[in-house]
Amino acid sequence: MNIALIAHDKKKDDLVQFVTAYQATFSNHTLYATGTTGLRISEATGLNVHRFQSGPLGGDQEIGAMIAKNQMDAVFFFRDPLTAQPHEPDVTALVRLCDVYSIPLATNMGSAELLIRGLEQGMLEWRNIAKRNSGDENGNKIV
């Protein structure tokens, strides 16, 4: 499965610790992340992480494009609700796309724990069915 990893600055440590704790699970999936977050996760865990731009420079939108093309299966986005974000419209758009396309989204440690446990237990296999029903792995409709 394709998994996005994103964290606001004050939540990056939390996400790095979370991925480190569940490194064995994450190693079975293809990981994508925004710039600095991806670098920190890769350095801490040795996992291969495809890095996009940082969030304020368009990384959130790059992940959003994958969601819109049915190429992302889950999103771990540790948000900082107490700090204003200069790219808040992009953040809102990403969360909206997860809702539109029914992509599981964890925005804090509690929901991330539930999502990772579901992933470990195969509870997201419906995503494979959804991808088969919508087209190929690139989101192209099969006629």
Q: Annotated catalytic residue: which of 9, 13, 14, 60?
A: 60
Q: How far is CA 124 from CA 50, 121, 127, 132, in A?
A: 21, 8, 6, 14
Q: Of 73, 79, 74, 71, which is closest to residue 55 (Cα–Cα)?
A: 79
Q: Range of 110's domain?
A: 2-134
Within a domain: 140:
no
Which pLDDT tens digit goes with each residue over 68-118? 999 999 999 999 988 877 778 778 899 999 999 999 999 999 999 999 999
Annotated catalytic, 99? no
What's 127's domain CATH number?
Answer: 3.40.50.1380
pTM: 0.89
Quote the Cα angle for 121-119-69, to 5°: 140
The number of folded domains in the chain is 1
Which pLDDT tens digit goes with each residue over 31-68? 999 999 999 999 999 999 999 998 888 888 999 999 99
Within a domain: 142:
no
Distance, in Å, from the CA atom of 62 to the CA atom of 80, rounded to the nearest integer, reads 20
